[in-house]
Amino acid sequence: MSAKAKATRRFIMGVAWRQWLTVLVGAAVIAAMVVVAETARRDAQRHLHAQVLAERIRGDGEAVAAVHWQGLATLRSGAEALTAVQKQLVHRGLANWDALNATLTKLQRVEPGAVSTRLQNTAQTMYLTGMRAFLAFNAGDIKQVLRVDDAFLRPQFQAFEVAAEQAATDQQTVARQASKRAAFLYVGSLVVGLLLLLLLGWRLHRQRRHVSLSEARLILERRSEQRLRALVEHSSDVITVVDPALAVTWQSPSVAQLLGHDPERLLGRRITELVHPEDAVGVEHALAHTKGTVTLSARFQHSNGDWRHLEAVADNRLGDPAVEGIVLSMRDVTSRKALEDELRHQAFHDSLTGLANRALFEDRLVHALARARRTNEPVAVLFLDLDDFKTINDSLGHEAGDELLRAVAIRIAGVVRASDTAARLGGDEFAVLAETLEDDDEARRIASRLLEAVALPFEVAGRELRVSASVGLAWSDGSIGVKELMRDADTAMYAAKDSGKNTAQVFEAGMHRRVLERLELTGELQHALDQGQFELDYQPVVNLQTGDIYGVEALVRWAHPQRGRVAPNDFIPLAEETGLIVPLGAWILRTACQQASRWSESLPERPPITIGVNVSTRQLHDPRFPQLVREVLADTGMEPSSLALEITESLMPEDGASVIEQLAQLAELGVHIAVDDFGTGYSALSRLHHFPIDTVKIDRSFITGIEQDAGKAQLVQGIVNLAESLNLVVVAEGLEEPQQAAQLRAMRASYGQGYLFSRPVAPEAMFALLQDPAVLAAAA
């Protein structure tokens, strides 16, 4: 029972005791009033009785006097001897004297005051004198009787009569006053008793009301205590009371459910014994110094050894006699803590790869640059971007692309140092923050390890895949900010791509200019397409055996009004990134087919000229592309067999179902499908028979130096032999020396293309070559 409930119970008992005391006092007062009134009544009755006795005494005295006067009358009549009448009068007088004497005795007993005493004395004197007269009367001495009567007895009778009358009057007055007093006291007793009863009833009512209220409050407190105990015992929250030494003095049963501990076994133990060592100091400090209420969070150990995150509200009730301790109300927030950690991790980590995201990377870079300014130690930032990831993503699908990104992230995390921060900034772009570098070469070594790690084969969707990456590297000693350093690393990364990909470049000041030019070109591409600034040059494909022109390849050029002619390598990647390659490719296809049709019309004696048009990744993955080719052929009147669509080797992955479907639709139109830059991708020649391919163009990297490198010669010979077995036409690109052409003819290669025969030329120059190919035959 709480102290408040005990105080309420003591109050109820005190009120009950006071009720009985009030009743007893009231009863005593009423009894006293009744006794006083009864005494007054009896006193009045006594005085009334005395009045009656006084009246009787006066009557008895008059009777004695009457007998006396009759006796004297007979004596004076002259009788010399007692007659019978006189004797009878004597007897009557004696009887009257006896009655008077008895009445006086009663009056003396009822009213023993001065009046009764005086009457008694007067009657005694009168009696004695009467006895003298009686004795003289009996002796026959009539004279003596008369003398006594005249001298004594008559005045005494008169005095007694006056005293008796006065006594009767006085007793009447006293009796009347006593009756009034008795009546007043009776009425007063009734009034006082009634008032006292009313007051007593009011007091008892108030006290009973107080008792009822107190009992109701006590019942409510008991119910509250029972409800509180039930809530505490069945609540999922843990209620713990500790003393100033943090020892447990009371423990709710819910601790068994939450932490698996027996509540009884925790009594007397310090609460910090259950707290994680890293949190114990903070908990002890918070509980020891709190003066009111404080909220804290800590890890508490479960009986099975696990740690649970609990949030506690500590209320200092050491000054409360009912508690005398610190009350801890604790609840399990392990799930909420885990969710907060997960949300915090999601806020600063990439959801796909688990690496740091851009926000966390930039935050750590801010602190790293601040330390660099203090310690003068450089900080390096490396940007890594996968080469041709869009092609891979479009070919294999986004799920496979995401799987590749996760695998790349694992490789990156595996080669960086423990002190470095690896992040995914978005898309296929990754970054590494390298601190505490021994020298500049250490950052270069990190870049080399990144390139080597990415270059190893990946297992994606159950198939082997090879990719490459470009890495940009930039340093700072804290003199530039986060944005500038990241911009420099990004610039170096694009420089690595421009230099041929699969390499690392260190930022140089001149790179900014090239990046700006790149941005300007990107912005001018759409305008150039709208203004018709693009042109097509054509390069002949020559029959190595006869020297005749077999066909031409259409090559796009940008005739920029300020920059002059812009090379394809400077704007084709930008067109790929921006998606403008689709409308640009459609323009190239239509323009090339129109030109080929005009040549065929102008040179009807020549066999149809095959014209090759490069097809980009985005074009081939556009489901509308076959319909576009069909429309262009119909609009230009060109024979489908005169069109060769050249695709890069990277467009032929192992599971290129969508690519195969597109190529099949194109093959049904009757156009040729050629693989451009063969040998630079990741497909095997043996897999070409899965695709509707009829031409293979060997990349110039295999042709350059073939006349001096026996290994290259053997490799090219193997390609030619395998292509011949698959009924594929072989075109060797990049021919510049007559020895190369001679060696390829010896290998039975069908066609060649390169500066040995002609550079890409304008349509007019190409038309002249078609009219007189003698110069080509001489070169061949």
Annotate 558-605 with DSSP letters as a single string: EEETTTEEEPHHHHHHHHHHHTTHHHHHHHHHHHHHHHHHHHHHH-TT
**529 domain-assigned:** no
User: Do residue 598 and residue 721 come from a single domain?
Assistant: yes
Residue owning tokens 């497909």: 683
Q: Are strands 307-317 and 293-301 parallel, antiparallel or unpaired?
A: antiparallel
CA dist list (Å): 15 to 28, 199, 209: 20, 16, 10
User: Do residue 367 and residue 480 come from a single domain?
Assistant: yes
**484 domain-assigned:** yes
Kindly state the tokens that stand for 667.
């093959």
**523 domain-assigned:** no
Q: Structure pTM?
A: 0.50
pLDDT score for 18: 67
**528 domain-assigned:** no
Counting as low any pLDDT under 70, the low residues of the chain are: 1-19, 22, 26, 51, 72, 74-87, 89-90, 115-116, 134, 137-138, 140, 171, 204-205, 207-236, 649-657, 679-689, 773-780
CB hemisphere CA count around 289 (13 angstroms): 7
pLDDT score for 701: 87
Q: Identify whether the C-beta of residue 328 lies closer than 8 Å to the C-beta of residue 314.
A: yes
**401 domain-assigned:** yes
User: Do residue 428 and residue 564 come from a single domain?
Assistant: no
pLDDT score for 228: 47
Kindly state the tokens that stand for 317.
């009730």
Counted domains in the chain: 4
Report the SS3 class of residue 656: coil
Indicate the helix (H) or strand (E) that contains 33. helix 3-75
Give the other-Cβ count within 10 Å of 772's Cβ.
9
pLDDT score for 131: 73
Any residues with CB less than 8 A from the CB of 594 and at least 6 apart, and which? 636
Q: Identify whether the C-beta of residue 283 lies closer than 8 Å to the C-beta of residue 307.
A: no
Query: What's the CATH number where 433 sits?
Result: 3.30.70.270
pLDDT score for 567: 84
User: Do residue 747 and residue 627 come from a single domain?
Assistant: yes
Kindly state the tokens that stand for 369.
């640059």
Q: Which of 311, 336, 361 is the last residue of a domain?
A: 336
User: Do residue 126 and residue 73 come from a single domain?
Assistant: yes
Identity at 60, one-letter amino acid code:
D
Q: Name the residue range of residue 271's domain.
A: 236-336
User: Do residue 645 and residue 771 come from a single domain?
Assistant: yes
What b/e sequence results for 102-140 when a residue is b if at least 16 CB atoms lie within 10 Å of its CB, and e otherwise?
ebbebbbebbeeebbeebbebbeebbebbebbbebbeee
pLDDT score for 492: 92
User: Do residue 175 and residue 287 come from a single domain?
Assistant: no
User: Do residue 149 and residue 100 come from a single domain?
Assistant: yes
pLDDT score for 16: 62
**519 domain-assigned:** no
User: Do residue 594 and residue 628 come from a single domain?
Assistant: yes
Nearest to 390 by CA among 568, 621, 570: 621
Separation of alpha carbons 116 and 744, rounded Å? 183
Separation of alpha carbons 293 and 161, rounded Å? 103
**550 domain-assigned:** yes
